[in-house]
Amino acid sequence: MSETHKTEIDKITGVETTGHEWDGLKELNNPLPRWWLYSFYACILWAIGYWVIYPAWPLVSGYTTGVMGYSQRADAIADYEAGMAERAVTGAKLVDASFEDIRTTPELLEFANANGAAAFGDNCAPCHGSGATGSKGYPNLQDDNWLWGGTIDQIYQTIEFGIRSGHDEAHIGDMPAFGRDELLTKEQIDQVANFVASKTGLETDAGADLEAGATVYADNCAACHGEDLKGMQEMGAPNLTAATFLYGKSLAAIKSQVTNPHNGVMPSWEGRLDPATIKSLAVYVHSFGGGQ
């Protein structure tokens, strides 16, 4: 690369060069278009006017406020406060209303569903999924398989107080660790797991003693899950004939659960969310279609 500073007239265009040349390419000294110059000058004037009229320059402990005293931040705060005040009015009506009143009052039902959807996305979706279909260890809220009941009142209680959350009114129902605590032998665990699997359409171990498994089940499991394996919601005992299992539907998963069960925890939202939001969540979750 070479660079020179000798001006000359370009033979092709007849325009004087700037005197700069790079690898044989010479820069023409063409004036800028007037429309471009006028636009540039207008932008400069606009910027100066903006600096004077609106907040623009940061200072040590603040910023210039401009002759209009306008503040987008103040406007945003005012809009937020106005929205919160309006929300508080409707929220108070929601808290005082029964679930039946909410269902039959369009204003309250619309508010509850909108507020519940926002709260679900912020607080519940990380576990139950954005579509509320759950995952392993986290219940699907769209089906009709409920551990503690799917009526709107039962959903409300579960949200407010949680499950094994430490709250005095939380649902509590722990499954014994039949293997870890040596309540059953490995052989008995295999027998009862195969028995349950046989009742749910799963493949069992070859030569499994299902009759012995039925006896083990009757002696140790029926008190919670019922003689028909349909579960008991008042105890949080799942339906063992359901299409899905919370911790996996396979013979191996059943054996694992009997041996060393998962006893999941759902937090209590009382004190974390305001009463209107908790009630909104109950209405919203119940609207998924799996409610009872």
Query: Per the annotation, where are the binding residues for heme c?
Result: 124, 127-128, 175, 221, 224-225, 266
Q: For the CA atoms of the chain, what is the radius of gyration?
A: 35
- CA gap 169, 37 in Å, rounded: 74
> Cα angle at 134 between 132 and 139, to 5 degrees?
105
- At 185 the three-state DSSP class reads coil
Residue numbering of the annotated binding site: 124, 127-128, 175, 221, 224-225, 266
Which run of H or E residues covers position 154? Answer: helix 152-161
Q: For residue 231, what are its two tokens? A: 């579960």
- Please report, to the nearest 10 degrees, the dihedral formed by the alpha carbons of residues 59, 61, 65, 71 taken in order: 120
- At 224 the three-state DSSP class reads helix
- CA gap 162, 145 in Å, rounded: 18
User: What size, in residues, is the chain?
Assistant: 292
Please choose, from the candidates 210, 282, 206, 201, the residue with its C-alpha nearest in 3D space to the C-alpha of residue 245: 201
For CA atoms 75, 79, 84, 89, give the dihedral sign: positive
